[in-house]
Amino acid sequence: MSQKPSITFTKLAAPRKGSVVVLWAEGAGLSKSGAACDPANILERASEVADFSGKSGSVLDVLAPEGPGLDRLVAIGAGKASELDDYGWMKLGGVIAATLRRTPDATVVADLPDAAADAGGAAALAAGIVLRSYSFDRYKTRKGETPDDEAQKPGKITIQTSDPAGAKKAFAAMSAVADGVLLARDLVNEPANVLGPLEFVERIRKLAQLGVEVEILAEKEMKKLGMGALLGVAQGSPRGARLAVMRWNGGKAKDRPVAFVGKGVTFDTGGNSMKSPSGMEDMKGDMGGAAAVTGLMHALAARKAKANVVGIVGLVENAVDGNAQRPGDIVTSMSGQTIEVLNTDAEGRLVLADALWYCADRFKPAAMIDLATLTGAIMVALGQHHAGLFCNDDELAGWLAQAGSETHERLWRMPLGPEYDKLIDSKNADMKNVGGRYGGAITAAQFLQRFVKDTPWAHLDIAGTAMGAPSSEISQSWGTGFGVRLLDRLVRDHYEK
Ligand code: BES
Ligand code: MN
Ligand code: ZN
């Protein structure tokens, strides 16, 4: 992980030296404390010259203004102050982090005219700074040579707010979640030669330091449980297979847990139904679901969420090899249902079939939500700005969609139904692992549904959002960490008491 900026909160007091960032509300300008940083109304004049009106995300940058001490004075457009929600504050933090590329040490006056003391806002702004400052630079041995590298230099940022104690407290939780996002991004960005199933498990074991109970099933135990679907995918790789079970028991002993299940294909060549070479390198990110579940468990444990949560990830590599499974092979899943593997590149659902069944069977969760970079078809349907949401429970679907719009990790509901389910019936086994030409994301979801029993369940197809998604105010990373903030919000709003 790249180094994180260090952030502290202090009371409002006009800074007199260094770099200073103030917020400018559209239509209302600077707050009293913001204006106090501006010795000779420099920003007022500059705003007229530059036609700056405080539109959300716009920047007015004045270098070495005249007057005592200030090196740089920046006004960040905050839009209409009344419309700022948590995500809005987070985006401001992102814009600030991007603006401070070459002067990373700064004071930010997180105050707006007429704004009530907003400790949550200042904390969200800080979280936005942390998220935007991330870059995956572990393998750059010559840091700081290109302007791009320099951009990533983390700084010391002092955030002034009317309620520093409140902001510090709110930031403790938000920073736990941000750390979970950064962990997920790191896992997705890591190349597959470095991060295979066993190495992924080592990263998961570190969560024990936060109080997460970690249990690892190796091939032998999985074989005993009858996980022929998951093991069939893994059999072509020398790098092993693991099922990791993470448990965070922050709730009451009697509460049924909420469960999250992730697809963890550390590399997807397609197997014998091999993918074409162009863009295949992206398949190092085919464990984005497992990364999100791991990042989420980190977040929940680090902020001591008052809920019982289970995280399960199926970790395999889908390799090409003399021992790899062949199209036409028939495997028996832990559920007892048989699957004809017509396409070895539709491997994620095979991994999830056993992981979901195991989860439902052992934990009887109140709800079970899986995340998977499951289909190219979901990207055709929704592009990269929404993940696909498939759900057998309208209430759960509503909660997820709501959490999605609040965190801006947005979901779009897709259909399930018997007509689609029929498309995966097989002549030779209970089902086949691919449907026909149409509705590929839906038939994949129908396949998963055959392994959830009657558990309230949701499937998030994050193929378009977990990696390579367009960068945003709070992410410039290829691996986005999509799902961590979303599901943290879901747990906070619906499973914590
Ligand atoms: N991991 C891929 C899906 C994927 C594609 C994720 C592009 C991210 C970007 C998945 O295992 C896969 O190969 N799916 C196939 C299914 C098909 C063979 C039915 C697909 O989408 O083409
Ligand atoms: Mn595949
Ligand atoms: Zn895959």
Q: What's the start-to-end Cα distance of the chain, in Å?
A: 33
Q: What is the distance between the alpha carbons of residues 99 and 75, in angstroms, rounded to a whole number? A: 10
436 by DSSP, 3-state: which?
A: coil
Q: What is the identity of the amino acid at 290?
A: A
pLDDT above 70 covers a percentage of the chain that reads 97
Instruction: State the distance from the centre of ligand 1 to the C-alpha of 198, rounded, in angstroms.
Output: 23
Residue bearing the bigger pLDDT, 117 or 61: 61
Concerning whether 349 is annotated as a catalytic residue, the answer is yes
Please give the mean pLDDT across all residues of the chain: 95
DSSP string for 318-376: E--STTS--TTEEEE-TTS-EEEES-TT--HHHHHHHHHHHHHHHH--SEEEEEE---S
pLDDT surpasses 90 at 154? no
Q: Which residues make Cβ contacts (< 8 Å) with residue 152, sequence separation at least 6?
A: 2, 133, 135, 137, 143
Most confidently predicted of 42-56, 62-76, 130-144 = 42-56
pLDDT above 90 covers a percentage of the chain that reads 90
- Give the pLDDT confidence score for residue 114 in this predicted structure: 72
Which position among 101, 203, 275, 306 bears the catalytic label? 275
Q: In sequence order, what are the beta bridge partners of 243?
A: 217, 314
Q: In what order do the strands lie in the sheet with 329-332?
A: 329-332, 338-341, 431-432
Q: In sequence order, what are the beta bridge partners of 75?
A: 22, 60
- Give the pLDDT confidence score for residue 152 in this predicted structure: 55
- Give the pLDDT confidence score for residue 328 in this predicted structure: 98
182, containing H or E segment: helix 164-189
Instruction: State the distance from the centre of ligand 2 to the C-alpha of 292, rounded, in angstroms.
Output: 19
pLDDT surpasses 90 at 497? no
| Across 121-140, average pLDDT | 96
For the chain, give the longest Cα–Cα distance.
82
Q: What is the distance between the alpha carbons of residues 414 and 420, in angstroms, rounded to a whole number? A: 12
Q: How far is CA 100 from CA 27, 155, 280, in A?
A: 25, 9, 35
| Across 161-167, average pLDDT | 96
Concerning whether 427 is annotated as a catalytic residue, the answer is no
pLDDT surpasses 90 at 66? no
Task: Give the model confidence (pLDDT) of 387-433 as tens digits.
Answer: 999 999 999 999 999 999 999 999 999 999 999 999 999 999 999 99
- Give the pLDDT confidence score for residue 408 in this predicted structure: 98
Least confident range from 23-32, 150-159, 221-230, 274-283: namely 150-159
- Give the pLDDT confidence score for residue 246 in this predicted structure: 99
Task: Report which of 244, 223, 472, 228 is spatially closest to residue 331, judged by C-alpha positions.
Answer: 228
Which position among 303, 349, 410, 492 bears the catalytic label? 349
Task: Give the model confidence (pLDDT) of 437-447 as tens digits.
Answer: 999 999 999 99
Q: Which residues make Cβ contacts (< 8 Å) with residue 285, sequence separation at least 6?
A: 188, 189, 373, 466, 467, 468, 478, 479
Structure tokens given for 393:
């429970």
Q: What is the distance between the alpha carbons of residues 174 and 89, in angstroms, rounded to a whole number? A: 12
Burial class (CB in 10 A: 0-12, 13-18, 19+), 487: buried
Per-residue exposure over 231-250, b if at least 16 CB sit within 10 Å of its own CB, e if not: bbbbbbbebebbbbbbbbbb
pLDDT surpasses 70 at 148? no
**Closest atom of ligand 1 to CA, residue 377:** 21
pLDDT surpasses 80 at 313? yes
Task: Give the model confidence (pLDDT) of 201-212 as tens digits.
Answer: 999 999 999 999
Task: Give the model confidence (pLDDT) of 181-222 as tens digits.
Answer: 999 999 999 999 999 999 999 999 999 999 999 999 999 999
pLDDT surpasses 90 at 34? yes
| Across 2-16, average pLDDT | 91
Best of 286, 349, 433, 478 for a ligand 1 pocket test (most atoms within 8 Å of beta carbon): 286
Best of 345, 347, 434 for a ligand 1 pocket test (most atoms within 8 Å of beta carbon): 345
Q: Between the CA atoms of 124, 126, 132 and 133, what dihedral angle is there, to the nearest 10 degrees?
A: -160
Helix-then-strand count for the chain, H and E: 16, 18
| Across 14-29, average pLDDT | 93
Ligand 1 binding pocket, CB closer than 6 Å? 268, 282, 286, 343, 345-348, 373-377, 434, 440, 463
Instruction: State the distance from the centre of ligand 2 to the C-alpha of 268, rounded, in angstroms.
Output: 6
Task: Report which of 228, 316, 233 is spatially closest to residue 272, judged by C-alpha positions.
Answer: 233
Q: Between the CA atoms of 483, 173, 88 and 478, what dihedral angle is there, to the nearest 10 degrees?
A: -40
Task: Report which of 61, 35, 30, 66 is spatially closest to residue 46, judged by C-alpha positions.
Answer: 61
- Give the pLDDT confidence score for residue 147 in this predicted structure: 57
Q: What is the distance between the alpha carbons of residues 201 and 383, in angstroms, rounded to a whole number? A: 31
Instruction: State the distance from the centre of ligand 3 to the C-alpha of 274, rounded, in angstroms.
Output: 11
Q: What is the distance between the alpha carbons of residues 342 and 263, in angstroms, rounded to a whole number? A: 20
Give the angle subtended at the CA of 441 by the CAs of 440 and 444, to the nearest 5°. Answer: 85
- Give the pLDDT confidence score for residue 65 in this predicted structure: 75
Structure tokens given for 74:
């920046």
Per-residue exposure over 416-455, b if at least 16 CB sit within 10 Å of its own CB, e if not: beeebbebbeeeebbbbbbbeeebbbbbbbbbbbbbbeeb
